[in-house]
Structure 1
């Protein structure tokens, strides 16, 4: 690894950590959340932190490989913009679900998050198969989280 590789590694790590940290501050596990009925198959609470930590680490590594393999500066910039949009959508879900206490709105926003991951995988896959594959666990987890979110809405709605 050369010195030039340190910049994209640092940027990917900082952005992933910043998104995770902001998401952590938005996520409020209070009486409202604990009063929600959860489906029987919901993972235990402690697993969410473990899973999200792994997912954010994979996102950072995917960003690094995508940056390294982008054929042009423009491709790298587009990819960074797509990662930024994805991070925003990730945070927006937490805001809608936990802060606004609107799992119903969060579910519809999660569809946009899911689509942003799929598009990011397709875009990165054009020049970095490893980057695209590293995003697959994220897509799978958001699919599971979306199903869980939908079930919470079904078990607890209407909201608002």
Structure 2
């Protein structure tokens, strides 16, 4: 017999990882979204882009995506002995930390331009993670494709918020500087 683990052992490993990863990712995503969310007066006053969906969809979409992300991570984490597994999981952690940082940067810091930079890094790291997951478990990579589509949509949305609300951007707003005006000679 040349197998390192039986199918049952592999399935049990996946289930253990899924029972850990899915709730953890959903919880962290929920905490990030509620710690700094769209309920502030600042966000309510922003001009919304035409493509901005009804707010109820964000909770539905993100919950579904976080579950899919957790399953994808569990698939890769349970691939014991797969070449690149550790690096793929490390790349995912970096990516997910960026994901969790976006809401505080956009909503709490009210910095639309910095949030655009963060979401650009989210896009790039997600593509890297998908490529790395593909080499380990293709299903894991495929589970991340709807997430990629949503993040790219969110990038366009973030850009449109910046275009429509340049004066509301904390990164470009009032710096406290005084403008001097010379009157006369």
Instruction: Report matched runs for 1:4-153 at 5 Å.
Output: 4-28=13-37, 29-69=39-79, 71-72=81-82, 75-153=84-162
Unaligned runs of 5+ in 2: 1-7, 171-185
How far off is 1:67 after superposition? 2.1
Q: Provide the alpha-carbon RMSD of the alignment.
A: 1.7
- In the alignment of these two chains, the number of paired residues is 159
Would you say the 8 A contact 1:9–1:64 is kept in 2? yes
Unaligned runs of 5+ in 1: none
Would you say the 8 A contact 1:27–1:99 is kept in 2? yes
Would you tell me which structure has more helix in proportion to its own residues? 1
Would you say the 8 A contact 1:71–1:127 is kept in 2? no
> Could you list the runs of 4 or more consecutive aligned residues of structure 1 that deviate by over 6 angstroms after TM superposition?
none
State the TM-score, normalized to the length of structure 1. Answer: 0.91
Asked which structure has the greater RCO (Cα within 8 Å, sep 6+), the reply is 1
State the TM-score, normalized to the length of structure 2. Answer: 0.79
